[in-house]
Chain A
């Protein structure tokens, strides 16, 4: 054992914490080494002097007084703590006791939670079926479908506007119909609304106004078709007569079969049948103002 090793062990030896074997080796060395002996006795001397230092003068009473004053202040603060804060500290302590306190365990806990989550996700939640892919094998077919959808949308729009018209009060609907009469060139939508009104509106007055409004646009094919389809279903004599007169004034020859049926209908109103008969007479007579219609097949019957 060299001197450095021996002197490094002095502290442990002094402490009594050096293992017996090393203590024995140290004693052997000390007995033969004057340098280490000097070092050791010097260390012992200074330690003895240090340890012999008397107890410090006791602190003044001021320290105790100040301490207990501070203690009282803190005790009062602690006593006046709100029940809410007390409950919170209890909850905090509960969770502190529940959860791991060392960072390593916290990290392990987080990893475990993640692993469980991933496992459960993979095990219990099937991935959604792949979205159905639209196979467009025929662009023409595709376009046709779109066109159909569009027309369906339009029909839907018409129905909605018609029903909106129906939902209003009678006077409101009348206002709407009369407002269309001021339009010089109403668009298709307005005309189809009017035709719808004529066919569906429950009020005789509104239907009559619709006929009046349509009279300005009776040249339109849509208007005529609407009149022709609405007439057989019409039950109000007043409206029936107005429609018959309108169709007659525009010389709608397609109305002849309908007029014929009405004129023979025993249940129909007398005035309506009369009106239909007159209309038939007018339509079957050749019109001097409309030479084109002379060649129509319905006309030779009279000529």
Chain B
């Protein structure tokens, strides 16, 4: 029973929000080199491959779907602006997440000083909405709960959770992105899962009360 559980691995590589498979990494790199050389329109292909995972990344991280669209746009704008800094030995997925993290950091710094209007998508989190109808599937309930829990964990932990569990980056890639050791990423991932669990059960308890 326990052994069977250890085999449990959720790899949703076919999922539209996950990163393109690594076999396409060379193609991404080729496209980006072409963009750098002046074939700007080739970025369209990269947009089609990356904008959804990127959007998912920002939505999970900020919990603001409308603002997340702008953030995706900013990332692609920066790709164009800084395309000359893309290195021959670079990896496009690492680079785009590097830019995305910076864009997100800028966003959080800005929103810390200026309060952002509430996103209508979050309205369903409002307590006034009352308990979900019995007809609603338990899984949907779970997803809403998980979304709220994810929004409550610290930014550091949320980031590592989003990158590892939702964007399916491996620990080496995350370590490179966060500029720390692989071991540190694992520790952070473990703590993040623990915090998420605590927050999750706390919310569930609040809702039950």
Contact = CB atoms under 8 A, between A and B. Distances in A.
Interface stretch (A53-61, A189-197, A277-285): A53-61
Interface in A191-234: none
A98 interface: no
Contacts of B77: 70
Central interface residue in B5, B59, B68, B87, by most chain A CB within 10 Å? B5
B154 interface: no
A81 to B, nearest CB: 8
| Contact-residue bracket for chain B | 35 or more
Contacts of A60: 69
Contacts of B142: 49, 52
A40 B44 CA distance: 44
A7 B55 CA distance: 33
Contact of A47 (B68, B76, B193): B193
B156 to A, nearest CB: 16
Interface in B149-203: 150, 161, 165-166, 171, 186-187, 189-190, 193-194, 196-197, 200
Interface stretch (A12-20, A114-122, A153-161, A171-179): A12-20
B56 A49 contact: no
Given A47-B165, A55-B15, A42 B197 contact: yes
B200 A59 contact: no
Interface in B64-87: 65, 68-69, 72-73, 76-77, 80, 84, 87
A238 B77 CA distance: 105
Interface string B1-37: 0110110111010011100000000000000000000
Contact of B41 (A10, A43, A75, A89): A75
| Contact-residue bracket for chain A | 35 or more
Contacts of A46: 193, 196-197, 200
A168 interface: no
A101 B90 CA distance: 13
A68 B44 contact: yes
Contact of A16 (B9, B73, B165): B9
A63 B55 contact: yes
Given A50-B166, A67-B47, A71-B44, A55 B73 contact: no
A56 B55 contact: yes
B189 A51 contact: no
B6 A52 contact: no
B31 to A, nearest CB: 13
Given A13-B6, A50-B166, A53-B146, A63 B193 contact: no
A110 interface: no
A27 B52 CA distance: 38
Interface in A230-250: none
Contacts of A137: none
Contact of A74 (B40, B51, B65): B40
A16 B6 CA distance: 9
B8 A59 contact: no
B193 A43 contact: yes
A62 interface: yes
Given A47-B165, A67-B47, A71-B40, A56 B146 contact: no
A266 interface: no
Contacts of A70: 73, 76-77, 80
Contact of A63 (B72, B147, B150): B72
Nearest to A70: B77
Central interface residue in A51, A66, A101, by most chain B CB within 10 Å? A51
Central interface residue in A52, A53, A64, A66, by most chain B CB within 10 Å? A53
B10 A11 contact: no
A41 interface: yes
A78 interface: yes
Nearest to B196: A46
Interface string A72-93: 0011001101000000010000
Nearest to A43: B193
A48 B193 CA distance: 11
B187 to A, nearest CB: 8
A31 interface: yes
Interface of B: 2-3, 5-6, 8-10, 12, 15-17, 38, 40-41, 43-44, 47, 51-52, 55-56, 59-60, 65, 68-69, 72-73, 76-77, 80, 84, 87, 139, 142-143, 146-147, 150, 161, 165-166, 171, 186-187, 189-190, 193-194, 196-197, 200
Interface of A: 7-8, 10-17, 27, 30-31, 37, 40-60, 62-64, 66-68, 70-71, 74-75, 78-79, 81, 89, 101
Given A51-B12, A55-B17, 6 more contacts: A8-B190, A49-B146, A49-B200, A51-B165, A56-B56, A78-B38
